[in-house]
Amino acid sequence: MKKLSILIIVILSLIQQSCNKEYDDSFLQERITSLENRIETLEELCKQINTNISSLQTIITALQDNEYITGITPIIKDNETIGYTLTFSQSNPITIYHGKNGTDGRNGTDAPIIGVKKDANNIYYWTLTNNGITTWITDNDGKKLPVTGDKGEHGDKGENGITPKLIIKNGQWNISYDNGATWEELGKATGNDGKDGANGDSFFKDITEDWQYIYFTLSNGTEIRVRKYCTISIDIDDSNLAQIQPNSTYIIHYTLGGTDAKEQAIIKAITKDGYKSTVKESSNTTGTIELRTPEIIIPSEILVIVSDGTENTIVRSIPIGIPNNQIWYKSIDKTTSVIRDPSSHFAPGYLDANILSNAYENGKGIITCDNDITIIGESTFSPLYQGGIDDLTHIIFPSSIKRIERYAFFGCNSLTDINLYNTSSVSIGESAFSGCSSLQKLVIPSSVSSIEKSAFENCSKLIELNLKEGIKNIGALAFSNCNIHTITIPNSIVTIGGGAFSGCHNLGKFEGKYASADKRYLIINGSLKSFASSGLTFKYEVPEEVKSIASYAFLNCPIRISLSNNVTDIGTGAFKGCEFSYFYIPNKVSTIEDFTFFECKNLTTIVLNNNITSIGMSAFLGCSSLSNIELPSNLSNIEMGAFEKCEKLKSISIPNNVKSINESTFQECTALENITLGKNISFIRSQAFLGCEKLSQIYCKSQTPPSITSNNCFSQYSCTVYVPIGCRDKYVNSPIWNKFANIIEKDF
């Protein structure tokens, strides 16, 4: 009780003193505040130390993995830089703190400093500096602790390194080497006031940088260097590479950006597929790449390599060509083309991808689709069909194009430039560019595998034609009626259709594969395919090596042609439009094919051998000068229109083996006066003699009146019909024959 009473008296005394206005407790408050600040500072210091330890481990890992530091941002507190935030090319960002300005010293021991140091084996290990003494941090077995784990076997993940941790516990520094499972005391962390400290020790003693590296200097003097990420970049203007020509030079402009080391920058351009490039620097940041194209244009790319002069390198690819989902074109009045909906593939005019836009801008029309364009449909751009462009001048195809369908550009008579250089494998359909009468120069690149019938027929101004190696097939009449002067056939050519180059009156010779010894014709397996007539004035005798004349081979030939008796076959339209007046058909030829002498307007005399059995459709149609022809006795078939519009033909005798006078066979033979029909004629078909106004005598040897299938077989019935003896009544009573006023029996 006595002790309790004394305690109460002391407490009351303190209370009384505290109530006294003259009592000053500021010193006590300052000590409390100082203690709180000291604890807060130590806790913050401990937090920063642990942050630095983890950050240091990341830095070492980045160093070993060849990572870049992509950014460094100062941490500002009270207008002072107290640390930095670093970002890496792959690892997560880290924060580091430095201790440049010393704070009030404390009577406790200095904060322990955890660092790293490279050992003789080039591996970084953790170190501990405590009370000025630096030692390796070891595990229970006395082995040094590595900052990063060993790399695992191929395909396995390496073990993680060990990260030490610090805390302040019961006023003591404590360290853990096993992620906090156990702790070891290092020394006193708090105590009485001490004198002001100089610049305090720090985990990171200093952080510096240049344009290439960031340097970390630790408190123990160890320096770690990590490469900075170089933001080197290059802008390239390659707008002029969409439409390129062979054997030409193009200038590509570039500008460097994003680096502090432009003076050290190295730029290289690498090309392939026959392209060549040269880099020319204008300044530290600008320059040009000179591109030279090869003779054969194929889709390719330019690889531009930019280095900052050390280990940082970027690569840019410049495509040569246009996007696969676009078609570029130009027209005189800068109008757009209307392309049909691709949903109807059986209607003329379509692309095989949906059109997203079709606009004329920056001097060209651009058709953009939702997918790669592989087919240009039938009549798509032809002005003769709804949707074409009347004044299309240029067309550029992407590399994805595989097929240009028939009539796609038929009749585009303003078209001057067809750019197929970007294509990789394409075939050109029948009459695809027929009638493009403004086209003067054309290069068919190796990407074109096949040129079909009449693809460029009637391109009347086409003078220069360059066929590249790689083309395999050229169809009949492909370049007929053009203005080509000379042509070289590539070795890659496998087939050439008849008359592929016929009607080219300025063509004087053939070069290359399949050219004859005199360079006047192309011959494949004994078949004469095309003939070059320029420079010849009267007659050409075809050599005996020629066994057959291909279709349209001598189309529109202006001179006389003489065939040897080795010729066995003459193809369709072989002499169509020729200007000779006389022609002899060799004895081994048995058939005159369709259109063989179609519109040979100067032909007056033709000699048919007795082995001929058939005359094809329109074989002599339009031979307006032909006045007489003797049909061979073995002839058994005459097709429709065979002698139509032979306006000077006065007489014709049909052999006995012929059974039918087909449609329009002698229609518009306006000079025809008499005809003899063989004894086996069974039919006279529609318009067979329509327009033969001068017909005065018909000699019909058949004892059975031939069946006249139409009322328009003859134009008039005033002529005299001669029939076999005893057959008049049959004719008089036969339909249509009974319209003739004079039917007279005759002994044949």
Question: What is the structure's pLDDT at 553?
Answer: 97
- 300 — pLDDT class (breaks 50, 70, 90): confident
pLDDT band at 151 (very low <50, low <70, confident <90, very high): very low
Distance CA 711, CA 733 (A): 16
Same domain, 248 and 190: no
Q: Which of 507, 573, 491, 498 is nearest to 530 (CA)?
A: 498
Question: What is the DSSP code (8-state) at residue 425?
Answer: S
* Same domain membership, residue 308 and residue 178: no
What is the radius of gyration, based on Cα positions, of the chain? 50
Q: What are the counts of helices (DSSP H) followed by strands (DSSP E) for the chain?
A: 3, 55
- Domain membership flag for residue 628: no
Do residues 78 and 184 share a domain? yes
What is the rounded average pLDDT of the residues 412-440? 92
Convert the pLDDT of each residue in 352-398 to its tens digit: 888 888 887 656 788 889 999 999 999 888 887 655 666 889 898 98
Q: What does DSSP assign to residue 714? A: B
Residue 591 in this model has a pLDDT that exceeds 80 = yes
Residue 742's closest CA among 727, 728, 726?
728
List, in sequence order, the alpha helices (H) in 20-102.
Answer: 26-64
pLDDT at 193 over 50: no
Which pLDDT does position 351 carry in this prediction?
87
pLDDT at 559 (0 to 100): 95
3-state secondary structure of 428: strand
Q: Is residue 611 part of a domain?
A: no
pLDDT value for 542: 97
37/40 Cα distance (integer angstroms): 5
CA-CA distance, 628 to 606, in Å (whole number)? Answer: 8
Task: Write a three-state SS string for 588-609.
Answer: CCCEECCCCCCCCCCCCEEECC
Q: Mean pLDDT over residues 319-327, rounded?
A: 82
pTM (predicted TM-score): 0.62
Instruction: Examine the pLDDT at 196 and tell me if it is beyond 70.
Output: no
How confident is residue 194, by pLDDT bands cut at 50, 70 and 90? very low
Q: What pLDDT is stored for residue 630 in this prediction?
A: 95
In the predicted model, what is the mean pLDDT of residues 291-295?
A: 86
End-to-end CA distance of the chain: 176
Of the three residues 320, 353, 385, the one that is the final residue of a domain is 320
Q: Residue 102: what pLDDT?
A: 35
With a CB cutoff of 8 Å and minimum separation 6, the contacts of 273 are 294, 298, 300
On whether both 101 and 212 belong to a single domain, the answer is: yes
On the question of pLDDT at 225 being above 70, the answer is: yes
Instruction: Retrieve residue 538's tokens.
Output: 């009267």
Report residue 241 as tokens. Answer: 């590479």
- The SS3 call for residue 384 is coil
Residue 449 lies in a domain: no
Please report the pLDDT score of residue 318 as a whole number: 85
Lowest mean pLDDT among 241-250, 351-360, 691-700: 241-250
Whole-angstrom Cα distance, residue 272 to residue 298? 10
pLDDT given at position 422? 77
* Residue 246: partners with Cβ closer than 8 Å, 6 or more residues away: 293, 294, 295, 296, 297, 421, 443
Q: Are 320 and 310 in contact (CB under 8 A)?
A: no
699 lies in some domain: no
* Residue listed under structure tokens 């290059």: 234
Residue 207 and residue 89 share a domain:
yes
Same domain, yes or no: 241 and 301: yes
Paired residues of 290 in beta bridges = 251, 278
Check whether 691 has a pLDDT greater than 80.
yes
User: Is residue 624 a part of any domain in this protein?
Assistant: no
Q: What are phi and psi of 36, to 5 degrees?
A: -65, -45
102/210 same-domain check: yes
| 77 falls within a domain | yes
Same domain, 129 and 159: yes
**237 in the same domain as 155:** no
Of 257-271, 452-466, 492-506, the range with the lowest mean pLDDT is 257-271
pLDDT tens digit sequence for 534-579: 999 889 999 999 999 999 999 999 999 999 999 999 999 999 999 9
The one-character DSSP state at 669 is -
Last residue of a domain, one of 181, 212, 227: 227
pLDDT at 56: 63
Residues 272 and 221 in one domain: no
Total domain count, the chain? 2
Q: What is the domain extent for residue 261? A: 233-320
CATH number assigned to the domain comprising residue 279: 2.60.40.2410
Domain presence at residue 90: yes
Would you state the pLDDT for residue 646?
Answer: 98
Query: How confident is the model over 630-677, as pLDDT tens digits?
Result: 999 999 999 999 999 999 999 999 999 999 999 999 999 999 999 999
Each residue's pLDDT tens digit, 536-546 = 988 999 999 99
What the block records as the tokens of 312 is: 């940082």
| Higher pLDDT, residue 325 or 465 | 465
CA angle at residue 675 from 673 to 680, to 5 degrees? 170
| Whether residues 179 and 117 fall in one domain | yes
pLDDT higher than 60, residue 47:
yes
Neighbours of 679 (CB within 10 A): 16
Q: Assess whether 66 and 124 both reside in one domain.
A: yes
Domain boundary, last residue among 227, 259, 275: 227
Average pLDDT, the chain: 81
